[in-house]
Amino acid sequence: MAYFRRIVLSALLAGGAWSFPAGGAVRVLDGARHHLGVAGLPEWTEFATSTPHGRQLELVFSAQPNAGEFTLFLWQREVKTTWNVLLNGRKLGSLEPLAQPLVLALSIPAGALKAGENRLAILRPPSPLLDDIVVGNLTLDPRPRRDALAAAALDVAVTEQNEKVPCRLTLVDPDGALVPFNAAPGQRLAVRTGVVYTGDGRARLTLRAGTYLVYATRGFEYGVASAQITLAAGDTRHLALELRREVPTPGLVACDTHIHTLTLSKHGDATLEERMLTIAGEGIELAVATEHNHHADYRDPAAITGMSRHFTPVVGNEVTTKAGHFNAFPVAARGSVPDAQLTDWTELLSHIRHVTGAQIITLNHPRDVHAGFTPLGADNFNPATGELRRAPAVRLRCDRGRHLRRPAI
């Protein structure tokens, strides 16, 4: 309770009555950063000597009703699970599940603020998982999100040997926090806070005035092109960056053999079209579609997005069972789908090969727990001998391939 009173007092002292004068001044609700978590149960070593301020953050402040949309900005770090942001009991959104520092911009709908006392809360639903986070630097901007992020414009162009090239752009502030921005309409981009994938190396963005570091990357074979840029209100700046392939890889193929989309697997948050941009933007040359229990063919979306010339799609299937997830590829796009109810590995692997004709079957995330089952857990695998207790006749082979990490989106 003492901590709660302190936050209330700091808000009232910092902002007075919290009315919004003409001209739309941005107001600081709370300029501090707060460690939230469970006392005595630190998730990470860095929090072992830190006493959490509490399991949630509540901020009380006075305001007037907002006739139009406002914007709430806040800073976050080390977020893993769902943390909801509520204003007067109304959900504005959730923190983004990222470990990196990030500045989040949330819209406050018209009428969400009320005359007099208002309560802003950051809390998580009940969960047995530990999740220590740091959150703070809350500011209120009395403008719609699109206007609050429109003080300046930035036009970025990335090339390789004078040719436009798919890539990932990352924008951070001087402290390294990913920053919010708007993408100008009419572009084919995959956009998240601080990150944009572009299929042609071009991106037109609007953002708040300030100093930013802009990075262009294209997977592990390429270097990093970067620049620092300061934008004043009203500025329109053009930034040209040049990428270079630093690692020669003749005879090798950059591949990703485990790819999902929200569209087909309800997994992650990238739509089918966005995934085509992230594949090309990470320099992947062989992309194996492994949607859950679905023969996915990326050729049409690759063509629609103009990414066909940058990578070769392979039809695959992540056969998702209660006894593990198995990637099978290549398979026929219109071929029969394996029975995902099978749990005996010997029977299941034989069945997958017979039904799909797949030449390659890989066991995904073997040490992760899914539906209470760990494929290479102690009950199923002897790490000393390599013996699969669950299926002695099955042999595992580990190949050292060029399996690039999946994109961040």
Cα–Cα distance, 159 to 167 (Å, whole number): 9
CB atoms inside a 10 Å sphere around CB 354:
11
pLDDT of residue 350: 94
Cα–Cα distance, 158 to 200 (Å, whole number): 8
Cα–Cα distance, 256 to 274 (Å, whole number): 16
CB atoms inside a 10 Å sphere around CB 176:
11
Sign of CA dihedral 239, 214, 98, 36: negative
Check: CB of residue 148 under 8 Å from CB of residue 138: no
Which of helix, strand or coil describes residue 225? strand
Percent over 70 (pLDDT), the chain? 90
Residue 71 — very low, low, confident or very high, per pLDDT cuts 50/70/90? very high
DSSP character at residue 223: -
Place of tokens 């899914």: 370
Check: CB of residue 226 under 8 Å from CB of residue 146: no
Pairing mode, if any, of strands 286-289 and 312-315? parallel
pLDDT of residue 254: 95
Residues 282-310 pLDDT 10s: 999 999 999 999 999 999 999 999 999 99
Which of helix, strand or coil describes residue 3? helix
Residues 72-96 pLDDT 10s: 999 999 999 999 999 999 999 999 9
Residue 66 exposed, middle or buried by CB count within 10 Å (0-12, 13-18, 19+): middle
Query: Which of residues 152 and 399 earns the better pLDDT score?
Result: 152
Instruction: Give the chain's end-to-end CA distance (angstroms, integer).
Output: 39
- What is the chain's length? 409
Amino acid at 169: L
Q: Do 149-242 and 2-147 have the same topology in CATH?
A: no
Cα–Cα distance, 196 to 198 (Å, whole number): 6
Single out the residue of 217, 71, 235, 95 nearest to residue 158, CA to CA: 217
Query: Which of residues 318 and 14 earns the better pLDDT score?
Result: 318
Place of tokens 């797949």: 358
The kind and range of the H/E element at 277 are: helix 272-281
What are the domain boundaries of the chain?
Answer: 2-147, 149-242, 255-388
Check: CB of residue 259 under 8 Å from CB of residue 312: no
pLDDT of residue 4: 35
Check: CB of residue 87 under 8 Å from CB of residue 119: yes
Contacts of 383 (CB under 8 A, 6+ apart): 376
Pairing mode, if any, of strands 189-192 and 236-242? unpaired
pLDDT of residue 44: 86
CATH class of 149-242: mainly beta
pLDDT of residue 379: 86
Fold of 2-147: Jelly Rolls (2.60.120)
Residues 201-244 pLDDT 10s: 999 999 999 999 999 999 999 999 999 999 999 999 999 999 99
CB atoms inside a 10 Å sphere around CB 93:
14
Residue 24 — very low, low, confident or very high, per pLDDT cuts 50/70/90? low
Q: Considering the chain, what is the average pLDDT of its residues?
A: 90
Span 375-396, average pLDDT: 80
What is the value of pTM for the model shown? 0.87
Q: Reply yes or no on whether the pLDDT at 322 is more than 80.
A: yes
Amino acid at 189: L
Q: Reply yes or no on whether the pLDDT at 330 is more than 70.
A: yes
Check: CB of residue 102 under 8 Å from CB of residue 96: yes
CB atoms inside a 10 Å sphere around CB 224:
13
